[in-house]
Structure 1
């Protein structure tokens, strides 16, 4: 088996991500690896013409409130989930989630990427896509995609 020394865990702070973190943390502990905990703040997209209705000041305040909420979530994650684990680094970046996950994985020379997945299928998957799927298809290293247990596959 490959030597796992650097693990990138991407989180959106959802229940799926919190569950996936248990796997990332377990692997990091087993292999004495450094765990990079990444959250990507996606630039909000506004419908065409909406910019005329929103002031730059309002957009700045909105962005600031998102950043503050993310920092609060990251602090809570460190206090609750990473308590007692020493080899980690938390990162908050802005951009397109799958691109930033891939960029950070290369930058940090990750041996493994761990992501939670919502398990969307059908039209939901077509409309929203899957960050996890895009990461799996393009990553330079293995990717572990973790889904919450109890969600059964069903045909539509």
Structure 2
């Protein structure tokens, strides 16, 4: 079994996040590894396809601030230092890969809803992370 030293846990800040985080904490304890938390805020323009002729900067800033506050709450609850709490903006798969490489992570932990059929064909964040990662990925099945 590999020994992990740095574990990047990508959470979506929904009610399902604790399932993913708890599994990551178990792995960190078992390997005496450093825990990092990240949340990727997708750019507001993605949701509207860039078709809205208005400045969405304030809305984006509000989403970023709310995400930082929520991630900080998880960090404080589980003893994760501020430097290991990362909120970034972009495509989740790309940002998670970038962070994992920059921080020299040996394991990425993400949640997976266990999609089937057409949902599987459309893809998911967990699937995107798995197929582009240069380190191990643990997909925690959300129940």
CA distance in structure 2 between the partners assigned to 1:120 and 1:17 by the alignment:
17
Asked whether the 8 Å contact 1:10–1:39 carries over to 2, the reply is yes
Query: Are 2:125 and 1:125 equivalent residues in the alignment?
Result: no
RMSD: 2.0
State the partner residue of 1:12: 12
String of CA shifts for 1:8-48, please: whole Å, max 9, x gaps. Answer: 11111123332011111111122111111111111122146
Name the CA distance, whole Å, in 2 between partners of 1:5 and 1:43.
31
In the TM superposition, residue 122 of structure 1 has moved relative to its aligned partner by 2.3
Structure 2 counterpart SS, 1:114: strand
* Contact map agreement 1:42 1:95 (CA 8 A) in 2: yes
Q: For structure 1, which runs of at least 5 residues remain unmatched after alignment?
A: 150-156
Cα distance in 2 for partners of 1:78, 1:97 equals: 20
Offset at 1:119?
Answer: 2.1
Runs of 4+ in structure 1 displaced over 4 angstroms?
85-88
How many residues of Structure 1 are paired with residues of Structure 2 in the alignment?
Answer: 141
Q: Work out which structure has the larger RCO, using CA pairs closer than 8 Å and 6 or more positions apart in sequence.
A: 1
* CA gap 1:65/1:88 in 2 versus in 1, 3 angstroms: closer
Aligned mates of 2:95, 2:7 — CA distance in 1: 15
Query: Which aligned pairs between 1:1-156 and structure 2 lie closer than 5 A?
Result: 1-44=1-44, 45=46, 46-47=48-49, 50-52=51-53, 55-56=54-55, 59-80=56-77, 82-83=78-79, 89-127=84-122, 129-149=123-143
Contact 1:132-1:145 at 8 Å conserved across structures:
yes
CA offset at residue 65 of structure 1? Answer: 1.3
TM normalised by structure 2 equals: 0.87
TM-score by length of 1: 0.80
